[in-house]
Structure 1
Amino acid sequence: MEGCVSTIGRKYKEDLDQQVKDPFLGDYLKIVQSKAYRRLAFKTQVLSLPDNPHVRTRLIHTGEVMAISIMIADALGLNKNLCMAIAAGHDIGHTPYGHLGERVLSECRGSPFCHNINGVVLAQHVERRGQGLNLTYETLEGILKHNRETTIPDFGKDEPREHAAVTYADKIAFTFSDLNDAVRYGYIDGGNLPGCAIELGATQTIREHNTLNALVAESREKGAVSFSEGSVFANFDELYTVLLEKFYLKIDFSIQEMILRKLYRNISEISDIDPSFLVSMLTDKEANRFGELMSNCSKPSVKDINHCGLFEILPYLTDKKIDYSDPDLGWKPR
């Protein structure tokens, strides 16, 4: 199976291309040194700001997606550096409080807020003091297209296969790790796991191993990255339904939802920049702090909030005309 051999290009040339010969390795290095990547350490995967250090944050999840995507790429002969770059950047556009934030901001703005689009906007127009990271087209497109909600994603025949590898790595990573954390916090009884989880394996490591083996075998047979058939897939798909019913929908995020709505309303009154975009850049910790201040007074003082990372970035956005709902990939080299 052939992977992506080279890039069709970046938006503009730069000196880093001379220092790091592999363009996708260059992308990876840029992303992991970005502010957006650092913020993931304090953003929700499923549970907000967990006390237990072994529970996943958005950054830990990102590392697990990188690891699994590299295993898929290694087994199928794909470009490991491109997989690593896409995986590193796939969630940099996430809001505080995870998918709850995405839903609430969509309701507040009256149109969908999508973390995958937001991630591409951040990478192109916000990082490096508004100059952008100047990533390759393949990495940006992979970040944009990683979020395919369907059980069996559809990949274009001309798309790099690495896009599919990261999409499946994301699904595998969050499914098994979320099960692990659901047991850790008592949402699911570890001594009485659902049958589909038991069928996949006795431990998280074995479940992951068996699922990857099934994906690799099916992909080799079809000549494209695929995971949509057989008993392993059926059990994997059923496990997501179990997590939805017993974990994701059982968490009480009512306080966080109230904080997000207040934040959106307050920011929209003081800034001309899309408030959903500004709220999205906050960490859970910062959003909680704003929530505390808003409960005590209607307008927090500058002294109370000037340590927030958002105020480090705002000066570089004030005069820029950015459509925060547009990934802006029309510059694709021909």
Structure 2
Amino acid sequence: MISDIGVLAENSKGRAFPEAPDEVRTCFQRDIDRITYSKSFRRLKHKTQVFLQPEGDHYRTRLTHTLEVTRIARTISRALMLNEDLTEAIGLGHDLGHTPFGHAGERALCEIYTCGFRHYEQSLRVVDRLEKSGKGLNLCFETRMGILNHTKGAPDDSAEAIAVRLADRIAYINHDVDDAIRAGILTAADIPKEVRARIGERHSTRIDAIIRDVIEASREGEVRMSDDMAQAVELFHDFLFEKVYRNPTAKGEEAKVSKILGAIWDYYLKNPDKLPPDYRSIADTEGVPRAVCDYVSGMSDDYAVYTFSNIYIPAAWQVK
């Protein structure tokens, strides 16, 4: 049973390339499967969320962030009787276009690539153009628009897309502070008193409080946070921005990111014949800078470091 503000699978605006219906899965379930089985989804496990190359197994990656966003969004969707499958598809696909090294990598590519780089636009390009050797995943219109607009939103967003956008913020402000506490950058007592009083003292309590607020505030038909919760969340975000996202200890390695990605960019810009075949095809049809941007932005942290080393660091050798 889907509420009046939810999207019925049978009412989807469809795919760019029409396909026969599946006998078992709805169109949005098929989108979930296509994203989950994609190469770009698997690469998220080696992409930074906030902390670059942390020593420890328990820090979030872009993949675990994606999974947390999706779980929160599905909880909201179930409570509001939205389409959980569409919500999950958007949640799983929303960060597929993220660069290596998190937002530091995004800033680096934005400076290098003259057309500008925005991860939400690249996420759509991944599912439309880059996956499956250039064929794309041929996702439903509603999934694609939810992915594209997950950061800034759009006037005609579906309720499911709004649920994911709210879940994205709920997830990252809470797990980023959790990771910062684990790293010794913050203590729980550093969180502003106003935030702790309104949202809670513990990680799980805060997530639960915000989710419940969204559910209650959305009962009248608009998916949203209450005004006072939105103010508390904004205060929490501002605190994180100052104490974590700009923290010199946590972010001290980020200056190296632009050098690594810039050097890789320069190499392939001058040597497009060294690009993998799929990206050489893009270079032929859309230009070398576009192809290099697609290739570099799709790299994991580890692969970017490997590529830089392979290009610029002399290989070890010995006389036999």
TM-score range, shorter chain: 0.7 to 0.9
Counterpart code for 1:235: A
User: With structure 2 as the length reference, what TM-score do the two structures score?
Assistant: 0.86
Does residue 98 of structure 1 match 2:93? Answer: no
Rounded to whole Å, the distance in 2 between the matches of 1:14 and 1:196 is 52
Counterpart code for 1:281: G
| Correspondence list, 1:118-137, <5 A | 118-137=122-141
Are the equivalent residues in 2 in contact too, given 1:48–1:97 (CA < 8 A)? yes
* Pairwise CA distance, 1:66: 0.6
* Pairwise CA distance, 1:13: 3.1
Does residue 4 of structure 1 match 2:2? Answer: no
After superposition, what is the alpha-carbon deviation per residue over 1:278-303, rounded to whole angstroms, capped at 9, x for unaligned? 11011000111223334424xx8xxx
Q: Greater CA deviation, 192-201 or 62-71?
A: 192-201
Rounded to whole Å, the distance in 2 between the matches of 1:124 and 1:192 is 43
Count of aligned pairs between the two proteins: 289
Counterpart code for 2:8: V
Does residue 288 of structure 1 match 2:285? Answer: no
Rounded to whole Å, the distance in 2 between the matches of 1:256 and 1:117 is 21
Query: How has the CA–CA distance of structure 1 residues 262 and 286 changed in structure 2, closer, same or farther, with 3 Å as cutoff?
Result: same
| Correspondence list, 1:166-245, <5 A | 166-199=164-197, 200-221=199-220, 223-227=221-225, 229-230=227-228, 232-245=229-242
Does residue 76 of structure 1 match 2:75? Answer: no
Counterpart code for 1:204: H
Q: What's 1:269 paired with?
A: 270
Are the equivalent residues in 1 in contact too, given 2:45–2:61 (CA < 8 A)? yes
Rounded to whole Å, the distance in 2 between the matches of 1:242 and 1:161 is 29
* Pairwise CA distance, 1:155: 4.5
Q: What's 1:140 paired with?
A: 144
Counterpart code for 1:292: S
Does residue 247 of structure 1 match 2:248? Answer: no
Identity %: 33
Counterpart code for 1:208: I
Q: Runs of 4+ in structure 1 displaced over 6 angstroms?
A: none
Q: What's 1:326 paired with?
A: none
Q: Secondary structure at the match of 1:247?
A: helix
Does residue 67 of structure 1 match 2:71? Answer: yes
Rounded to whole Å, the distance in 2 between the matches of 1:282 and 1:21 is 32
Are the equivalent residues in 2 in contact too, given 1:43–1:49 (CA < 8 A)? no
Rounded to whole Å, the distance in 1 between the matches of 2:305 and 2:26 is 40
Q: Secondary structure at the match of 2:137?
A: coil
Rounded to whole Å, the distance in 1 between the matches of 2:312 and 2:157 is 48
Q: Greater CA deviation, 207-216 or 270-279?
A: 270-279
Q: What's 2:280 paired with?
A: none
* Pairwise CA distance, 1:147: 1.3
Rounded to whole Å, the distance in 1 between the matches of 2:99 and 2:312 is 21
* Pairwise CA distance, 1:188: 1.1
Counterpart code for 2:47: K
Rounded to whole Å, the distance in 2 between the matches of 1:197 and 1:292 is 44
Are the equivalent residues in 2 in contact too, given 1:196–1:239 (CA < 8 A)? no
Rounded to whole Å, the distance in 1 between the matches of 2:42 and 2:141 is 23
Alignment gaps of 5+ in structure 1: 149-153, 301-334
Alignment gaps of 5+ in structure 2: 273-282, 316-320
Are the equivalent residues in 2 in contact too, given 1:20–1:26 (CA < 8 A)? no
Are the equivalent residues in 1 in contact too, given 2:79–2:215 (CA < 8 A)? yes
Q: What's 1:28 paired with?
A: 32
Rounded to whole Å, the distance in 2 between the matches of 1:61 and 1:68 is 11
* Pairwise CA distance, 1:133: 0.8
After superposition, what is the alpha-carbon deviation per residue over 1:144-164, rounded to whole angstroms, capped at 9, x for unaligned? 00011xxxxx642x4311110
Rounded to whole Å, the distance in 2 between the matches of 1:277 and 1:248 is 26
Counterpart code for 2:16: K
Are the equivalent residues in 2 in contact too, given 1:218–1:226 (CA < 8 A)? yes
Q: Secondary structure at the match of 1:147?
A: coil
Rounded to whole Å, the distance in 2 between the matches of 1:20 and 1:279 is 37
Q: Greater CA deviation, 117-126 or 266-275?
A: 266-275
User: With structure 1 as the length reference, what TM-score do the two structures score?
Assistant: 0.82
Q: Secondary structure at the match of 2:82?
A: coil
Q: Greater CA deviation, 197-206 or 25-34?
A: 197-206
Aligned-residue RMSD, C-alpha: 1.7
Counterpart code for 1:5: L
